[in-house]
Each structure stands twice: as C-alpha cells, then as structure tokens.
Structure 1
Amino acid sequence: MKYDHTDALNKATELFWQKGYQGTKMRDLQEHLDMRPGSIYAGFGSKEAMFLQVLDCYVEQSLLKIDEYDRLATHPLEALKDFVSGFIFVEGKLENSRVCLLVKTVSESETSQPKLHTHALLGLKKIERKFTALFTQAQQLKLLSQTANPEQLGKWLQMQIMGLVIYSKNCAEKEDIVLMIEHIFSTLRQPS
C-alpha cells in the first residue's frame, strides 16, 4: 500500500502535538497514519527521525505563514501583528490556540531527549531570525526607533507569543487577547 509522505507527516504532527513525543507510541502512529510498522520504518527510519521531520515541516510551514502575512501586509510590523493574531486565533477562534510545537518539545525533552530538544531550539532560532529580519525592515522604513535592537525584538516577540498562548488558555475573553496584541505592537511604533 502506497502512502503520501506529506499526508503522513501532517497526521504525525497532529498526533505528536496531542500526545507529545514520549506519549506517542509506535502503535499510536500505526493507527493514526494507517501504516504498518515496516512502512513507517521504511519511510521515516524511526520514530525519532519522523519527529525530527515533523519539527522541520512545522518550522517551514511557520516561516511560509510569516512570508504570506508579509506579502499581504502594508509594512513589516503589520505582518508580524497579523502572524501573532493568526497564531493565537486559529481559524479566528481563541479556543483553537495551541502551544507552539517547538516550545512544547523544548519543555518536554530537555533531559529525556537532548537531540529533539536541540533540534526544536534550532527551529525556534530560525523563526526568531525571521522576526528579526522583519523588525530590521521596519527599522529601515523608520517604523521603529533607530536605537531599537531588531535581534532583541525577535526574541522579545517569541516570548510575547508564548505568554499570550499560555494566558489564552486561562482567558475566555477574546477581546482581552486582542487588546494585548494591540498593546504589544503599539509599544513598538515610532512616535510621529
């Protein structure tokens, strides 16, 4: 039986996101992907190798989403704000928000799976560099102070997203999160 590699990775992503790496057993993957163990090993090598591919795919999809928001936005800060809003309000709904798969992996794997931990950290770094590039563009467009540090802002934005996701799990009010996102970006704008 033939399988679609991309479809299998997407299904594996959902399963790993729900159960985490440690909580996902090979039997879970077999059932969720509707694949035999031999096909999983032939297609991916191992559970760990599959998970590394899942992380890479997640990073690539995140970077593509940021690029898409950038193409549609009038300026880089708007693109970043739209990305954050889209990440928090998945399909427009606060209840669909999930902790970033990379952050989840980092928090669950530090001592038990150092290879996965390091790989997830590298993925976060790639996304952070994309944020930094957009902050640099915003600075060049004079939307940010010339004394702002785009690299620090890239790290800061990641921290803001992590905090918003965790807070949104305890906050039922969409309006509160919308105001927080607005506040995050209003503090960045260069005074006119």
Structure 2
Amino acid sequence: MAGRNREFDEDKALAAATEVFWTKGYESASMEDLLQAMDLNKGSMYNAFGSKRELFIQVIDHFFRKEGVLIRALFEQHKNPIKAFKEIFRQVTQPADMKAHTKGCFLVNTLGEMSGMDEELAALARHKLLDVETIYLHYIKKGVKEGYITNEASPETLAKYLVNMWNGMSISRRMYGRKELEKLVELQLGVLQPA
C-alpha cells in the first residue's frame, strides 16, 4: 500500500527551516520557531523530518546540494575560473539584502557553533566546506592547465587558501562595508595571478 502523499512542499519547508537555523543558530532555534516558519504541525514535521537534530542534518544536506549546483554553474559560465572566483566572492560584497549579508555563511556558522559542542554536526559542516574545496580544486587545476592561474603554489594549497578566504570573509562582511570588502576580494584573489 502506497504511503500518503505529503501535503506540503518539502523544498520550501527545508528552505524555511534553513532560514531559522541560519538566523538563530541550532541551539537557539526552538521547535516552535521551526514549526511556524515551515507552516507544519508537530506530527507532520516529525513524520517528514524526524527530530530537530535530524531536521538540521537534512537542512545542511539540502543547503549544500543547492549551493554546490550554484557554485559549479558559475564555473561553467566562465572559461577563466578566476572570473568565477571573483563572482563568488563578490556575492559577499553585493548582497541581495542586508539581512543575508550580516548572517555570514551558514556552514561556517554551523562549524563555529558546533565545534566542541556536537562533533558530529561540526564534522558534517566541515565535510561540506571540504566539498567546496574539492570543487575549487577541480577548477583551479583546470585554470592552471589552461594558463589562467599562474601562482606556483600547488592547486591543493590554493584551494585551501580560497576556502580560508571564504571563512574569513564570512566574518569580515559583518565588519566592513561594500567598498572595503571589494578591495579585500581584489587583493586576496590577486594571489591566483601574481605579477
């Protein structure tokens, strides 16, 4: 016998839960906050997603799947990967809305909050950031092979550098305005094509 069809949009529910966790953090997000944002009752939420912790794990997976697609799409739009990197990092300096700008990176926030508190959730966020590094590494190697990236450091080190830069920008965007951030992005990405 087939199960009942869900009477809600799972993607929308996960996106709403992401917003709550991203804004409040895992610990401060209450079940009431989540149920209200997701427009679900307790029974539907538990049947579809399980506990708050299980929901959070699904939120992280859902968030990264969407972000991973967007990151890869940016690289596929540009023959020169440096242009894609500039676009990725310029999104930090030119937010669609200021609320998003001050929230920082969801994965970086999660890693910071969960480290020392819940190592399994911290490891999940860490692995997603390492997956970003893997995407960067692929396109850095391509950029080196095609002559766009001329830094003599290994592609692996450059990929780590860019993830480190992203982690730092997630904090810096809460400190500086657009012009200052744009200057930082240009300066830091200059490492890919040293003079």
TM-score (norm 2): 0.89
Distance 2:143 2:98 in 1: 28
Matched, 1:82 2:93: no
Q: CA deviation at 1:16?
A: 0.3
Distance 2:99 2:28 in 1: 23
Distance 2:79 2:105 in 1: 26
- The runs of 5 or more residues in structure 2 that have no matched partner are 1-5
The equivalences for 1:151-162 within 5 A come to 151-162=156-167
Aligned to 1:38: 43
Task: Indicate the SS of the match to 1:187.
Answer: helix
Q: Deviations over 1:154-186 (max 9, x none)?
A: 1111111222232221213x2221111111222
Aligned partners of 2:75 and 2:81 also within 8 Å: yes
* Aligned partner letter, 2:95: V
Aligned to 1:143: 148
Aligned to 2:172: 167
* Aligned partner letter, 1:20: G
Aligned partners of 2:108 and 2:170 also within 8 Å: no
Aligned partners of 2:111 and 2:125 also within 8 Å: yes
Q: CA RMSD in A?
A: 1.8
- Which structure has more relative contact order (CA 8 Å, sep 6+)? It is 2
1:66 aligns with one of 56, 71, 93: 71
> Runs ≥4 in structure 1, deviation > 3 angstroms?
93-96
158-167 or 94-103, larger mean C-alpha shift = 94-103
Aligned partners of 1:143 and 1:190 also within 8 Å: no
Distance 2:187 2:66 in 1: 27
* Aligned partner letter, 2:11: T
Percent identity of the aligned residues?
A: 26
Distance 2:12 2:170 in 1: 27
Aligned to 1:104: 109
TM-score (norm 1): 0.90
44-53 or 64-73, larger mean C-alpha shift = 64-73
95-104 or 106-115, larger mean C-alpha shift = 95-104
- The runs of 5 or more residues in structure 1 that have no matched partner are none
